[in-house]
Chain A
Amino acid sequence: MKSAIFNYELKYWLKSPLTYIFVAVFFGLALIMMLGTGGFFDGPSNETGNVRLLNSPHEINFIFRYFNKFLLFLIPVIVGTSLYRDYKSRTFHITYSFPMAKRDYLLGKLWSSVLIVIVISLFVGLGLMIGEWILGIENPKIGVFNIWSYIHSYAIFTIPNLLFFSVLVFVVVGMSRNIYAGFITILLLFLFQIIVENLFTGKPFLIALFDPFAQNAVLYETHLWTRDEVNTKYIPVIGIIFYNRILWATIVGAAFFIFYKNFELLHESPFANWLPAFANSKKGANQPKQIPSTKSISQVDYDFSFVAQFKNMLKLSIVDFKFIIRSWMFFALAGFGILALVFILLRTTNTGEFNLLPVTRTIVSTPLFFYSLIIMLATFIYGGMLVHRAKNIRMNHLIDATPIPNWSLLGSKTIALILMQISLLLLLLFSGIIIQIYNGHFHFEFGQYLFRLFVITLPMLAIWAVCSIFVHTISPNLFLGLFVLILIWLGVDSFQHIGLQTQLLKFNAYPSLTYSDFYAYGQQLPGYFSLIAYWLSFAGILTVVSYLFWQRGLITSIKERFSIAKNRMKGIAWIVLFLSFGVFLFFGFKIYKAETNAVLDAGFNQSKGDIMANYKTNFGQYADTPQPKITFIDLDLAIFPEENRFDAKAVYNLKNKTSNPIDLLLIKTGFDEITKTIIPQKHRLIARDSIMQFAVYQLENSIPPNDSITIQFEIKNKANSLFTRNSGIIKNGTYLKHDILPRLGYAYDDRVVEPSDSTARMKNYFYSDADLVQLQTKISTSDEQIAIAPGDLISERKNENGRNHYVYKTNKKVKLNFSFHFGMYEVQREKYKGIDIEVFHHENHTSNVEKMIHGLEAALDYNTKYFGAYPFSTIRIIEYPHTEEDYSATLMANNIPTSEIQFIINSAAMEGKIDMPFYVMAHELTHQWFGNDAMPAAALGAKMLTESITEYITLNIYKQILGKEAADRFLQVQHKRYLRGRAREGKEEHALYRVKSGQQYIAYGKGAVAFNTLAHYIGEEKMNSVLKEYLMSAKTGEYPTSLDLIARLKAAIDDNYHYLINDFFETITHHDIGIDEVKYNSEGGDEQTVNLSFSVTKYKDGKALTNLNDDVEIGLYNDKNELIQLEKTKVTQKTNHIKLVSNQKVHQIILDPNYLLIDKERANNSQ
């Protein structure tokens, strides 16, 4: 019997066209994905060297992650239906009376359908393999073909996932006799994953364990893998991945067991009472009125006018809406949705590094994004339910014979879906407010909520609602409809793989919006709403098509459907179609123009590579052409916030600091600006690249050595287009930088200069065209804004002709790093040791201001003590909107432009984490000494002289102010930063002394550790005195390289410790240390002997060393976690035994408690 059922089911699916559609789609998607990622559609790739291979076991698994999720939607379709079909067609009335065992029935259905799902999934692998084969081994991203990559992925992830969740869906559909419950189960699993990821933040082990799809388990095992490991290693199965699989097998097994035990081949579902029904039982609400029994229906008004039918549509939509929200599925979905929301919010406001305040903008960012996806998927499912529900229960003919027009029915379904979306959005709003109240945050921004939820998000969701109704109307069955919808959604994402960039084809997809309290969404809205209008009008077209094909009555052939559609195409349908199409074309054209203009503006009708290549060919000869240096800039800058416009005039003093006359001027002007160059001397334009904004001028009279000339520029912004922001000017909080100013010399010189290269010292790392400069700024804006420039405020004239005018001047020479700010600011002022500290911030962003000032003061104290006085009379912190840059801060002369994010960090909730506002300010101000006063030479390793030193000093400040424990946490973060960074490194990891720009993980993470470890052994005072000497020489002499500092360090410290310089600065060195065994011997009293065995392996540049001579610290701790004693021991071999005597009972032993060594796995360091 079992095999009969098994065979019957198998045949059913093998005969169904749906199976072949799935096979084709999955095969096609996999093939396109492999080809697209391999660059098949972009022309030949010229990537060389250490590339991330596409077909390594790790990457194959990575690609499968995407498909594994997609494949899950097959489960309700195939596994769910195998059971559901019997209920729907009501054949179970008959079949359940057959003499078959439930074992045969259930297992036959389950195994056959699971087999079909797995077979379909195999075509993903086949698609990828063929993709690999087409790309060929000569493709740099393709390694040697390895079938085990695939077998591995299938055996550990794809097949178990499909199996687990097939069983789960089977159980759910069996219990509920409802196919939609199967889809909802899959959705709930996704939500469960999100919840787990966010619930256990900071406990990666638990995330890895509970992740239903084991993705996080893979991440847990591989997140520190380097490129080489990624390319070669298999994902280890034994360990967390195995536990995860066992856990889920157990959960699902238990569910199946309970189901199987209780399942009976009965007419009434034995589970009927397991699930609560949300029926409206108005018990005894109104007593029956006694009305006389009649023989006929009384004559009432029947209204078939348009208005009445429109009202009917609304009434019917309420009926459908109630139907949706009355089901337990909806409650489960909404409940899980809100849970996911809460946990995502917890993580967003409580990330690994810093917490954010639960302000409205935070709630409507990432959490809303995920929540919208849930709403969208619910829209897909419930759309199908609404379209098909009357037919499924055979009530359609009752409805179809009534005089209700088709558009009224169609409209009611669409509106019901939108009502469901609104109710879910309102749920988010209420939950958000409750969360805010819970967090003691009573500044409710209803305006912002409503705008984001109902003006920005709802139209997008409504478009999905129309699309969902459309697809389900056209599609002959529910599953094909759902599948097509999911395909549209995921397919749009994959357009980039085949090189499609235009928004015009990405159905209902939008660029993400960033919010700032300074000016809300600002310039982003016109583009966003143009796209919304474009897709809304498309939705209008879809609605007309849905109307034409709306199924009414019994239609027996496709031909008949078309002939009916043709008959319906008249009157109002034409009008709506024409109007929609007109709007669609209008906005389509607008978007098309904006996109092509953006491309043309940027000159990207050629590829970026071609432009660069052209530039290098034409101008490469000038790479070493000596240029005068900028010494003084006189800037006149007026901005017009309402018009997003600025006008500037700049006068440059250029001095020939070389020993030869200069007669060529190479001028690079800003990309986003329109710049007019005025050279008063007689000159000739030799060459120009209008895309790169680069020009070469020949002066008639050359500039003699040590002589100066003056040139002028008139600078204007380019206007914004729909999707591109060209103007830096915004309504409030404008943040302009020196990049609006023209610069001298050959731009984009990407030659790598080694620190040993003697020519490196001629130029500083930052700019070839300036040493330190002076700046005078006349600056003005509208009368409600403050304008800020570098230097001291010399004069201000408020409200003159409706504008505010200021003059700023630098009293000392500064690095050519300028920021200009314009906005409505609140200012907090303080005087500290004769220096004015000013914080310009948004009126509501006050909570971190004190901490920032504290950070500045601490840095002033520390650096002044060790490295000399602060050169300016004022320090300003100026908040800039989150939309303008990332979340960081930068020192620019005496200004520190700081992201809005730093101001809305929830520092009160950051107990036990990095105190960001304090840290950021201490770090930035320290750059005044290391980075601005001492500018490194233009060579590799420059960042060691700026960021590494600064991060090390910040660590010391941190230790001094916040204590050792906080400093240790800071150090741990740096270790992690380094280890994670090198795992993500796309190219080659450099040694610290050769760190290149972009390798933050080395400059910050490893740099801080390196200087700290060295200072730990030689002492802070000693280290600081070496740094001071370095600083003094850098300020006066040539630009220094990393080798200079290393030489100073070697000269200053004991030979014993030179190995540390080699380990940390000159090579890539790691340790692998761990405790092997600990034996405690109590000898009476409080004294205790500890016999410790531990092993040490040292790797240098990837190879294990045999000769060791390293210091390792061992900390002994009592039961209060206090350090009893710290032993330092010299290690010369891999395995070590040491006997320690303690005067207290030892509770814990930690190897390297001060985080001096770089050790990938610290878990085995303590016992």
Chain B
Amino acid sequence: MRLRIDKLSKTYKNGVKAINELDLVIEKGMFGLLGANGAGKSSLMRTIATLQNPDSGHVYFNDIDVHKNRMDFRKSLGYLPQDFGVYAKDSAEQLLNYFAILKGIASKKDRTKVVEEALHLTNLYDVRRKRVSTYSGGMRQRFGIAQLLLNNPKLIIVDEPTAGLDPTERNRFLNVLRDIGSDNIVIFSTHLVEDVKDLCSDMAVMNQGIILSKITPSNAINSLNGKIWTMKTTKEKLDTLQQQYKVLSSNYNEDNSINIRVFSDTKPDDRFVSVQSNLEDYYFSLTQNQPI
């Protein structure tokens, strides 16, 4: 099972190159797509989900060209867009039944069964008779997962699903995703490094329509082993330090002093101490010099 993206490009009418000659291969498992807002993640996801045509290039899923065989491809696709609404007056059960029809489940009995299972899987069974439009953000995202599960998809695309969720909801959501992700390809876009760290077996960092790096999270962390240094400083000195060193991140302490993390092959100077690298460092080390 394999998704192969081949020289994919998409330019919008206003001249923005959302996807630029992009090549990528994704294998079974959870795949994290990291990138800042506007990096082109959603465009890429939509294009893979066949909701948008590329200007050039191809997407192959197990050797089928998805844009040439949209309907075939959609049979194995589960897609959760970044932002979606639902018919205001319908309950989760009604809406899922509606989607089950759309997804080709002909028998009413099968539909009922699958809908119930999806509701259980997403922990929505108890609220299945409530209108989805009254759900909280996390419930709504889980509903989004429930709908995409209905056709037993082989390829699942979820676009920034954790945005705006509180920590508890986020955890619950990621657990649901983890449960379903083991046998399929799950492409999961986010701008939160945390999400990827917690969930993904493989990842890519995207910026300005191109893939900056494709790597497993552990390799990513290992690649920076011994190259991350930290020191405590003050706000006034930060500017100078930033000019001197490659500062990946900075965060305030309670006393208004600042801890900075710096990337360097060798120890920059005595004030710095070595620390364990993490995924965030990797992400920042890649995107730091990129204009955002």
Contact = CB atoms under 8 A, between A and B. Distances in A.
Nearest to B52: A554
B104 A298 contact: no
A308 B13 CA distance: 39
A326 B89 contact: yes
A302 B117 contact: no
A1047 interface: no
B85 to A, nearest CB: 4
B71 A557 contact: no
A398 interface: yes
Interface in B106-165: 106-107, 110, 113-114, 116-118, 120-121, 125-126, 129, 131, 144, 147, 149-152
Interface stretch (B74-82, B188-196, B238-246, B247-255): B74-82
A402 B74 contact: yes
20 contacts: A294-B117, A294-B120, A297-B118, A298-B114, A301-B105, A303-B105, A308-B106, A311-B106, A312-B104, A316-B101, A319-B101, A389-B87, A397-B51, A397-B81, A403-B74, A403-B77, A404-B103, A553-B51, A554-B46, A555-B52
- Nearest 10 CB-CB pairs, A to B? A553-B51, A393-B85, A300-B110, A403-B74, A401-B79, A402-B102, A303-B106, A394-B85, A302-B104, A397-B81
A405 B150 CA distance: 17
Nearest to B146: A297
Given A297-B121, A297-B152, A301-B107, A553 B81 contact: no
Interface string B243-276: 0000000000000000000000000000000000
B120 A302 contact: no
Given A312-B102, A402-B74, 18 more contacts: A279-B131, A291-B120, A295-B179, A302-B103, A304-B71, A315-B101, A316-B101, A323-B87, A394-B83, A395-B84, A397-B51, A398-B80, A398-B147, A401-B50, A401-B51, A404-B102, A553-B51, A554-B51
A1036 interface: no
A646 B12 CA distance: 74
A572 interface: no
Contact of B99 (A303, A326, A402): A402
A795 interface: no
B74 to A, nearest CB: 4
A564 B116 CA distance: 37
A16 interface: no
A298 B117 contact: yes
Interface in A248-295: 277, 279, 282, 288-289, 291, 293-295
Size category of the binding interface on chain B: 35 or more
B218 interface: no
Interface of B: 12-13, 46, 49-53, 71-72, 74-75, 77, 79-81, 83-89, 98-99, 101-107, 110, 113-114, 116-118, 120-121, 125-126, 129, 131, 144, 147, 149-152, 179-180, 183
Given A308-B104, A401-B50, A301 B84 contact: no
A301 B107 CA distance: 8
A553 B151 contact: no
B121 A401 contact: no
Contacts of A393: 85-88
Nearest to A283: B129
Nearest to A400: B51
A297 B150 contact: yes
Given A300-B114, A301-B110, A556 B120 contact: no
Contacts of A395: 84-87
Contacts of A289: 116
Given A297-B149, A311-B106, A397 B101 contact: no
Given A296-B180, A395-B84, A302 B52 contact: no
A315 B103 CA distance: 13
A398 B79 contact: yes
Contacts of B106: 301-303, 308, 311-312
Contacts of A282: 129
B160 to A, nearest CB: 13
B119 to A, nearest CB: 10
Q: Could you say which of A311, A315, A564 has the most chain B C-beta atoms within 10 Å of its C-beta?
A: A315
A401 B77 contact: yes
A300 B51 contact: no
A399 interface: yes
Contact of A403 (B75, B147, B152): B75
B197 to A, nearest CB: 23
A302 B152 CA distance: 10
A560 interface: yes
A291 B53 CA distance: 42
A316 B102 contact: yes
Contacts of B103: 302, 402-404
